[in-house]
């Protein structure tokens, strides 16, 4: 059923049951997830405060998937060193959080870690084009960052298409990841895929009722459904 490298389903564990976190994440690979999405919030760039490196270090032994650390923080560079020691595969920082994009990209790459840039709903997608040949992923925030369970904004489908068209025009599409984060569920995941996204970050839709396996299967069923 699952399409291998065709796309990535990334489980945002911010929406998991924190009283049973290790149990929630240990079977994600078996159930069909390809990645763990780890949100870091500092109470400054966004109002909320969430997991730091200590939590990731404590659960890393239970994770048998690649980890993408999503830095929703004011000073991304100071966090990179700590997370780079925790066997993470991607670090994604926000375009809006810094003016030192090239320096941060270079610093992450020096750690042999893939680089992602996230953009908020209000940010013009054209702003990331100058960095695309230096990074591995653009993460389109389909809701305002900081809170789980918000509704998906369909306006972001146009952003996905613009990035996909830019990649195709510049012969970069074969290696590049277009991620979507925020409100991703069975009703919109296929629309995102058809627009050009290939990384789908989902939290509430995976963990909301505790039936993680069934929820993941439903997301895949929606992705692979034939258009009527």
pLDDT at 153: 85
What confidence tier does 226 reach under pLDDT thresholds 50, 70, 90? low
Please tell me the pTM assigned to this model.
0.93
Tokens of 178: 């277009």
Beta bridge partners of 11: 36, 202
Q: How far is CA 177 from the centre of its chain?
A: 10
Name the nearest CA neighbour of 72 among 41, 104, 47. Answer: 41
From the list 39, 42, 68, 136, the catalytic residue is 39
Domains, in order of start, for the chain: 4-223 (3.20.20.70)
> Tens of pLDDT along 52-72?
999 999 999 999 999 999 999
> Tens of pLDDT along 70-109?
999 998 998 999 999 999 999 999 999 999 999 999 999 9
Asked whether the beta carbons of 101 and 92 are under 8 A apart, the reply is no
From the list 42, 68, 136, 181, the catalytic residue is 181
pLDDT at 210: 84
Query: Does 181 qualify as catalytic in the annotation?
Result: yes
Query: Does 74 qualify as catalytic in the annotation?
Result: no
């Amino acid at each position: 059923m699952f399409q291998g490298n065709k796309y990535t389903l990334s489980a945002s564990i911010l929406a998991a049951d924190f009283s049973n976190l290790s149990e929630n994440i240990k079977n994600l690979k078996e159930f069909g997830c390809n990645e763990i999405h780890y949100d870091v919030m500092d109470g400054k760039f966004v109002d909320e405060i969430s997991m730091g490196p200590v939590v990731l270090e404590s659960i890393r032994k239970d994770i048998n998937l690649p980890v993408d650390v999503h830095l929703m923080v004011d000073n991304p560079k100071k966090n990179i060193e700590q997370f780079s020691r925790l066997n993470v595969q991607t670090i994604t920082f926000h375009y809006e959080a810094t003016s030192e994009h090239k320096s941060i990209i270079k610093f992450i790459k020096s750690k042999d870690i893939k680089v992602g840039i996230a953009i908020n709903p209000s940010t013009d997608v054209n702003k990331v084009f100058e960095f695309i040949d230096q990074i591995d992923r653009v993460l389109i925030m389909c809701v305002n960052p900081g809170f789980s369970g918000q509704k998906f904004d369909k306006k972001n489908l146009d952003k996905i298409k613009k990035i996909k068209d830019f990649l195709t025009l510049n012969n970069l599409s074969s290696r590049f990841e277009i991620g979507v984060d925020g409100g991703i569920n069975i009703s919109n995941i296929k629309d995102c895929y058809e627009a050009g996204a290939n990384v789908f970050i989902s939290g509430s839709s995976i963990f909301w009722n505790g039936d993680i396996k069934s929820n993941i299967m439903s997301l895949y069923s929606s992705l692979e459904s034939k258009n009527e």
